[in-house]
Structure 1
């Protein structure tokens, strides 16, 4: 299967979020049909919260056995447990707490009140990933969800930040983030690209330039994302506004 980009544009943010939610449910159901379980890496942000809300209200959410889904995170802000700015908090409030998930299959990154540094949090996550993968380092990710920043970052891999070049262990501590808070934890680019599918979801005109640049080449972190089977860009019309001159 081609590892190129597929670009799908929806008319506005609400249609985008509802469509991504339906695609997500079907992707997890397909994975369970294939191997009896599924694994998804969650992201944060406004559009992600909308997606999770639509998952929760979807009439087809019952086609997934939520107790057999592993939930991971692509990155996390190094803040105390329950902080409203943590991606974990957002996802739990948006849909996880209302779904019949197995708590043992929900894998948040360690918070700042649990460990002392982003590196310690990354080490704990690496150990958990390896344990679930039974010593293989990283378990199979059926799907990684990503947003894209106006600077073209994905997860907490920012342009010019040393974390962008990290390899080896799948999770890394991040310092000096240009967006607050400065300390974070992130999956590395090789870990993200090891997934079967990666979907980059973007909404709003503020993302349009970064989307166009990332789809034009590898200069931005988002332009270096290449899943094993499917890399899909799911956009609303505003985020896709600069793509008219590109062909896919």
Structure 2
């Protein structure tokens, strides 16, 4: 499905629009299936969204929270995506502890942790080996280099198509990440992108032809909804195409 792109006036508008989008999809999932599943992204851009979600009167017992990727550090480490989301959002709402599904980062071998989390996902969703579960919402961002989740340019993780979770690599540091086919099974993928430093990567990501291995976000092509929400700084060079 062709992605939908919205360029918002500024960062505040980006957060406001993201909040509306996420809440609508979570509520729709609960209405349709009795619960919702959302996978979170890390980094600075989504933190204000998480803080805003903490103020929403959602039926939290029906919300299940996952992560699309995680740095291989403990949850109390300043770089932890889980830790950031807990501080900004999860610790401030009555979300049952069993509804929070962090990626394990306590194994000596990150590959063992990746396999462990894949098994946890299969158990939660009731999927068979080789079958990919369907998240209701997956939040993603991009780096200046065009990476998304922990799928970095020209890394082995980009080629993994037979697993749900794999080991990403950032400058020699391991990370745990959803694989491309798992991302592409989501009912809704929502990219949040802010800042002028993302313009060059976006030009390549949205080019009709380019190198998927150099700009991994190009590989995210879900069969259902793919929504790109950009602030004006990030989307300045794309705004004329969107209008």
Tell me the TM-score range normalised by the shorter chain. over 0.9
1:228 CA displacement: 2.3
Q: Distance in 1 between matches of 2:30 and 2:38?
A: 12
User: Which stretches of structure 1, 4 residues or longer, exceed 6 Å deviation after superposition?
Assistant: none
Report if aligned partners of 1:37, 1:69 keep a CA contact under 8 Å in 2.
yes
1:48 CA displacement: 0.8
Match of 2:183 in 1: 192
Is structure 2 residue 114 aligned with structure 1 residue 122?
Answer: yes
- Residue in structure 2 matching 1:18, options 16, 19, 27: 16
Q: Distance in 2 between matches of 1:239 and 1:19?
A: 15
Is structure 2 residue 97 aligned with structure 1 residue 103?
Answer: yes
- Residue in structure 2 matching 1:8, options 6, 9, 22: 6
Match of 1:231 in 2: 226
Q: Distance in 2 between matches of 1:247 and 1:77?
A: 34
1:138 CA displacement: 4.0
Match of 1:204 in 2: 195
Q: Distance in 1 between matches of 2:63 and 2:18?
A: 17
Report if aligned partners of 1:150, 1:209 keep a CA contact under 8 Å in 2.
yes
1:123 CA displacement: 1.1
Residue 183 of structure 1 aligns to a residue whose secondary structure is: strand
TM-score relative to the length of structure 2: 0.93
Match of 2:41 in 1: 43
Report if aligned partners of 1:146, 1:201 keep a CA contact under 8 Å in 2.
yes
Q: Distance in 2 between matches of 1:186 and 1:231?
A: 19
Match of 1:161 in 2: 155
Q: Give the gaps of 5 or more residues in structure 2.
A: none
1:245 CA displacement: 5.5
Q: Give the gaps of 5 or more residues in structure 1.
A: none
Report if aligned partners of 2:133, 2:182 keep a CA contact under 8 Å in 1.
no
Alignment deviations for residues 138-161 of structure 1 (CA, whole Å, 9 cap, x no partner): 432011100001010000001100
Report if aligned partners of 1:43, 1:75 keep a CA contact under 8 Å in 2.
yes
Residue 191 of structure 1 aligns to a residue whose secondary structure is: helix
Q: Distance in 2 between matches of 1:228 and 1:106?
A: 26
Q: Distance in 1 between matches of 2:238 and 2:67?
A: 29
Report if aligned partners of 1:129, 1:138 keep a CA contact under 8 Å in 2.
no
Report if aligned partners of 1:197, 1:228 keep a CA contact under 8 Å in 2.
no
Q: How many residues align?
A: 237
- Greater alpha carbon shift after TM alignment, 216-225 vs 197-206: 216-225
